Amino acid sequence: MTDAKDGFLVGLTHLILDRDPLCTAAFRKILADRGVSIVKIPARSPNLNCYAERWVRSIRSELLDRIVPLGEGHLRWAIKHYMAHFHHERPHQGLESRIIEPEPRVLPRGEGRIVRRMRVGGLLNYYYRASA
């Protein structure tokens, strides 16, 4: 997390943590040594971080409640495909039903034939108009 080249906390000054026992004193000391301040959320406050809660709700209802992961590799594979679907294919109501990062090859309405892209064995589907 704090690696100078690949760490996702590089350049950040604060990290919001819940009161999970996995966040030990040694873990917090490593972060503090790298200049990252720990901000603990209040106890028993599940709705404090609405963005994280909404993300967890989405991935659980759309993916994890519908599969039985057959190991860590299978779980990582499914989450990787869900992330691609979430960012490049799934419309978001908060963005006026737009896609976060639409693919440039998708044509506007009324042009090209409709193609279906399946992910996670058909659990996640995306329909788009293909170029001729």
Q: Going residue by residue through the chain (132 aa), what tens digit of pLDDT does each one get?
A: 666 566 666 777 888 877 777 778 888 888 888 788 888 888 777 677 777 788 888 999 999 999 999 999 999 999 999 998 888 888 787 787 788 887 766 656 667 788 888 889 888 888 877 765
DSSP bridge pairs for 15:
38
Output the pLDDT for position 50: 78
| Domain extent listing, the chain | 1-45, 50-129
CA 11 to chain centre: 21
Report how far residue 35's alpha carbon sits from residue 33's, in angstroms, rounded to the nearest whole number: 5
Q: Does residue 38 contact residue 15 with C-beta atoms inside 8 Å?
A: yes
* pTM, two decimal places: 0.61
Output the pLDDT for position 70: 93
Output the pLDDT for position 15: 80
DSSP bridge pairs for 37:
14
Output the pLDDT for position 87: 86
Helix (H, G, I), strand (E, B) or coil at 132: coil
